[in-house]
């Protein structure tokens, strides 16, 4: 527990060290929510590159943009974004298998019955009967987002709660650098001051060890009451100045490298991210309005850097627009995210890996949690402990969902996938998988990031089939249930066919201007 600070009174000066997506998210939120007498200074250098490859998001970004009052069509145009209905996973269960993890809900759950339990009952009763199984279909056939993604169609949700069109949930693919620029413009209009410069020294208060100021290369000194570390993997404040250690999760998440490569887009943009399991990791494919983002996340123990780059180049379509960019990381998080008067947000606080696009969300929640626990200069240890406990739990819950993808593989064609299938997993995930294998039950805490529908999509998509189902579903008449399910499946398919194509929707509502596309 950190000792309470010796100062009293409200926070007056906030210093954000580092820009990028996380830094400017913090700055924009402070511009919107901080008391008027608080000055916010962000220090960043154009000489220090940002990671900026995380171009896919999850639906929680809507909450952040809504908080700022951002017009969505303008945001999409400015960031050259496209829409994302989910993630298509290829070759994860076995080579040749494909499934979609969609946003939104599967079917219609009632107070009496979970929808997936009704589906499981019919699937179990069908057994090996191919015709009956085809009639039932996959669980994803009852999710409008999944069906629309397969068809390349998109629309925003509309209609009342009784309409299948209201069940669409979506996120975005965007240029992370343009999003940071967009947020910078917002923050500076709200009074945030940006200082260009490289931090070369951090001064600590001699009486209590709190951060007092940062010094820039040109000699300028920036003092503050609260410091937000958004300096990326370096952890300039949280790690180098305050010495906070790192919780290493590489035993669960062995991928530790990535290579990214932008390409010319040669086909209409899909309304989903594609994640293709490969020899020693997986490859991403993220369509933007002006280009295609591609990359390979891999384990360096099983694949050399040059081999990974060669593999990425050979497996993609479209002309490369830059040289491959290599990144190194260790999955995990800081032992504490908030220490004394310093809060680490974004990569300075931790990094799980790009699968399921959680990095921007975790930065967003770090900012939101800081605003909920906005401190005074005394920095109450109880508030700091609450922040650290909640953030650590969120990282652990997110970790479990990501590890599931690797553990639930049935591949044995490479040493990497054999390692993943055999590895030990956290007890919390082992329990969740055992519970699902038994009777198809998914229990989650109310604040878990990933919904029951998300867990269902990945477990069933990768072949984790329950041995049984909730026998309360047997109380329904089997023939009537089958007819109702067939009707819902047909309505979902019909609704998806009626949606405009993804490309048409963008061109109609939010296409980037030609000069912006060219730029």
List of domains in the chain:
13-79+174-248+330-379 (3.50.50.60), 98-169+423-503 (no CATH), 257-328 (no CATH)
Confidence at residue 4, expressed as pLDDT on a 0 to 100 scale? 55
462 and 405 Cβ atoms separated by less than 8 Å: yes
- What pLDDT is attached to residue 233? 94
- Listed as ranges, residues in the chain with pLDDT below 70 are 1-6, 48-54, 514-519
Q: Centre a 10 Å sphere on the Cβ of residue 36 and count the other Cβ atoms it contains.
A: 5
84 a catalytic residue = yes
What is the bridge-based pairing of β-strands 342-344 and 226-229?
parallel
Give Cα separations from 447 to 287, 346, 356, 365, 452 (angstroms): 30, 20, 17, 12, 12
Widest distance between CA atoms in the chain: 79
Residue 376: beta bridge partners?
10
pLDDT at position 46: 84
483: alpha, beta or left? (left if phi > 0; alpha if psi -120 to 50)? alpha
Select which of 84, 340, 407, 489 is catalytic.
Answer: 84
Using CA atoms of 230, 232, 237, 240 in order, give the dihedral in degrees to the nearest 10: 180
Strand partners, 215: 201, 221
The whole-number pLDDT of residue 446 equals: 73
Residue 47: per-residue pLDDT: 75
Edge-to-edge order in the sheet of strand 199-204: 199-204, 211-216, 221-223
Give the per-residue pLDDT at 162. 86
* Residue in 426, 380, 378, 373 with CA at minimum distance from that of residue 404: 426
DSSP assignment of 316-369 = --S-B-S--EEEE--SEEES-SEETTEEE-GGGTEE--STTS-HHHHHHHHHHH
């Amino acid at each position: 527990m950190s000792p309470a600070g010796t100062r009293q009174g409200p926070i007056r000066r906030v210093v954000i060290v580092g820009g990028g997506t996380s830094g400017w998210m913090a700055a924009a939120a402070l511009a919107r929510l901080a008391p008027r007498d608080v000055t916010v200074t962000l220090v960043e250098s154009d000489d220090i590159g940002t990671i900026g490859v995380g171009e896919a998001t999850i639906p929680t970004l809507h909450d952040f943009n809504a908080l700022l009052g951002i017009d969505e069509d303008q945001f999409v145009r400015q960031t050259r974004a496209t829409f994302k209905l989910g993630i298509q996973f290829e070759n994860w269960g076995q080579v040749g298998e494909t499934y979609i993890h969609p946003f939104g809900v599967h079917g219609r759950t009632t107070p009496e019955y979970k929808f997936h339990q009704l589906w499981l009952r019919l699937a179990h009763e069908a057994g090996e009967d191919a015709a009956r199984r085809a009639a039932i279909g996959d669980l994803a056939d009852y999710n409008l987002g999944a069906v629309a993604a397969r068809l390349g169609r998109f629309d925003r949700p509309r209609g009342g709660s009784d309409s299948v069109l209201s069940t669409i949930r979506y996120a975005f693919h965007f240029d992370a650098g343009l999003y940071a620029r967009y947020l910078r413009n917002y923050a500076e209009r709200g009074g945030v001051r940006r200082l260009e410069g490289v931090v070369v020294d951090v001064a600590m208060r001699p009486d209590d060890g709190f951060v007092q100021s940062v010094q820039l290369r040109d000699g300028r000194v920036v003092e503050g009451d609260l410091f937000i570390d958004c300096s990326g993997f370096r952890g300039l404040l949280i790690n180098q100045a305050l010495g906070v250690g790192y919780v290493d999760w590489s035993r669960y998440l062995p991928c530790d490298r990535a290579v990214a490569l932008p390409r010319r887009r040669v086909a209409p943009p899909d309304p989903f991210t594609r994640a293709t399991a490969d020899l020693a990791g997986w490859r991403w494919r993220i369509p933007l309005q002006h280009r295609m983002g591609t990359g390979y996340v891999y384990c360096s123990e099983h694949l050399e850097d040059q081999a990974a780059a060669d593999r990425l180049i050979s497996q993609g379509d479209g002309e490369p627009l830059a040289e491959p960019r290599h990144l190194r990381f260790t999955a995990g998080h800081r032992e504490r995210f908030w220490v004394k008067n310093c809060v680490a947000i974004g990569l300075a606080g931790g990094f799980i890996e790009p699968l399921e696009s959680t990095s921007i969300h975790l930065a967003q929640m770090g900012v939101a949690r800081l605003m909920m626990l906005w401190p005074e200069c005394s920095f109450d240890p109880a508030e700091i402990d609450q922040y650290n406990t909640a953030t650590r739990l969120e990282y652990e819950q997110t970790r479990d969902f990501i590890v599931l993808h690797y553990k639930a593989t049935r591949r044995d064609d490479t040493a990497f996938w054999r390692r993943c299938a055999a590895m030990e997993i956290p007890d919390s995930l082992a329990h969740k998988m055992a519970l699902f294998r038994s009777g198809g039950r998914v229990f989650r805490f109310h604040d878990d990031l990933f919904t029951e529908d998300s867990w269902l999509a990945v477990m069933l998509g990768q072949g984790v089939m329950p041995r049984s189902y909730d026998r309360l579903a047997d109380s329904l008449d089997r023939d009537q249930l089958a007819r109702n399910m067939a009707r819902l499946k047909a309505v979902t398919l019909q609704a998806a066919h009626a949606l405009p194509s993804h490309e048409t929707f963008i061109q109609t509502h939010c296409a980037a201007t030609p000069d912006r596309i060219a730029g």
